[in-house]
């Protein structure tokens, strides 16, 4: 037996309960009751996103202490990204609906065109008989009348298609924008992990010869603790810009997670990838970080990089794993260095 749908009163009770729990948690954890914080903990109280609840539970248990940076990260990952997915779905649905309408109108016009052609054939057959009797005037009037009606239907179709075309173009622009945003890391602007996984799978499907760089910012936690998460975010932006500056147009730069980045280098052997990695490393290491308003220097930052080249037996996972192992070696043999697999 199917359960009865929830009554409006019951739904209202749930809303009040979730809202109260959200405010109580904010007060208990000492988190300012800002709108984004309330929204985040309201979704936690609602319990419809297991991954969100798991991450917040870890933070509440002390495994990931709450900070402004962490709350911002959660909000962008679970609230903003979900809103983009919803908007993307709405735009896609709208586009499909309009395309369906265009196809319907075109189909109807096609049927009318077939009917018109059949009418003309019929008139011509009659005309071949009536010509002998010199009585074609009536047939000519019918042909003219049918042709005028067909022209009017054609004009109506043109107007309908023009209106639909304008709306479809608007929806397409929105769809392109949302697709672009859904593939980008909200902080640095480079590709996100989801887009990276998709692009790497495409490279494997094409059996492309690629190398991979795994890059990690050295001592990033210490920098965050010393100067704050806002400056930490600026460091990640600087690193992302430096990597992008050092690669070619067809190369793919993505934020892999936290302070870690990944670069896909199509048609690049290990030796060439090493040169790219060294260029990235030195470009970042020679940057002197300064506060814009006071000119105060924060010193420099460095990165460690690991490199792997695809093998015939590889999967995306095994290729990334070898690059990550090379990165691990760079970090544990002095940092601020590049290590290729096998070294």
**Token digits of residue 330:** 């760079």
Active site residue 259: yes
**Token digits of residue 264:** 């896909």
Strand partners, 43: none
Residue with the two structure tokens 């790497």: 200
Instruction: Give CA–CA dist 239/216, Å, rounded.
Output: 10
Q: What is the dihedral of CA 63, 66, 72, 73, to 10 degrees?
A: 0
Q: Which of 259, 260, 296, 325 is catalytic?
A: 259
**Token digits of residue 71:** 């709350």
Counting every residue written for the chain, the total comes to 343
**Residue 96 zone, left/alpha/beta (φ > 0; ψ -120 to 50; rest):** alpha
Q: Are 297 and 265 in contact (CB under 8 A)?
A: no
Q: Are β-strands 289-290 and 297-299 bridged in parallel, bridged antiparallel, or unpaired? A: antiparallel
Q: Which residues are catalytic?
A: 259
């Amino acid at each position: 037996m199917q359960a009865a749908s929830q009554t409006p009163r019951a739904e209202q009770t749930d809303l009040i309960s979730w809202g109260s729990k959200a405010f109580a948690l904010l007060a208990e954890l000492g988190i300012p009751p800002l709108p984004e914080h309330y929204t985040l903990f309201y979704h936690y109280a609602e319990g419809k996103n297991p991954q969100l609840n798991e991450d917040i539970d870890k933070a509440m248990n002390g495994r990931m202490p709450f900070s402004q940076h962490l709350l911002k990260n959660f909000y962008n990952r679970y609230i903003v990204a979900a809103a983009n997915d919803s908007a993307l779905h709405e735009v896609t649905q709208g586009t499909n609906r309009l395309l369906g309408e265009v196809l319907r109108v075109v189909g109807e016009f096609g049927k009318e065109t077939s009917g018109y052609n059949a009418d003309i054939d019929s008139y011509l057959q009659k005309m071949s008989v009536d010509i002998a009797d010199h009585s074609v005037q009536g047939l000519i009037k019918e042909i003219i009348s049918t042709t005028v009606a067909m022209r009017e239907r054609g004009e109506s179709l043109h107007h309908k298609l023009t209106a639909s075309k304008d709306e479809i173009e608007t929806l397409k622009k929105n769809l392109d924008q949302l697709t672009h945003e859904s593939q980008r890391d909200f902080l640095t602007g480079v590709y996100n992990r989801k887009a990276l996984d998709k692009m790497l799978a495409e490279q494997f499907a094409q059996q492309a010869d690629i190398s991979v760089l795994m890059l990690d910012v050295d001592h990033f936690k210490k920098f965050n603790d010393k100067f704050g998460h806002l400056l930490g975010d600026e460091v990640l932006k600087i690193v992302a810009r430096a990597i992008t500056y050092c690669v070619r147009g067809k190369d793919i730069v993505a934020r892999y997670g936290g302070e870690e980045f990944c670069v896909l280098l199509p048609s690049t052997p290990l030796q060439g990838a090493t040169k790219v990695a060294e260029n990235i490393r030195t470009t970042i290491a020679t940057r002197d970080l300064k506060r814009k308003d006071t000119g105060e220097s924060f010193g420099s930052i460095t990165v460690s990089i690991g490199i792997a080249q695809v093998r015939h037996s590889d999967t995306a996972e095994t290729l990334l794993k070898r690059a990550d192992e090379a990165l691990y070696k760079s970090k544990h043999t002095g940092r601020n260095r590049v290590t290729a697999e096998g070294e």
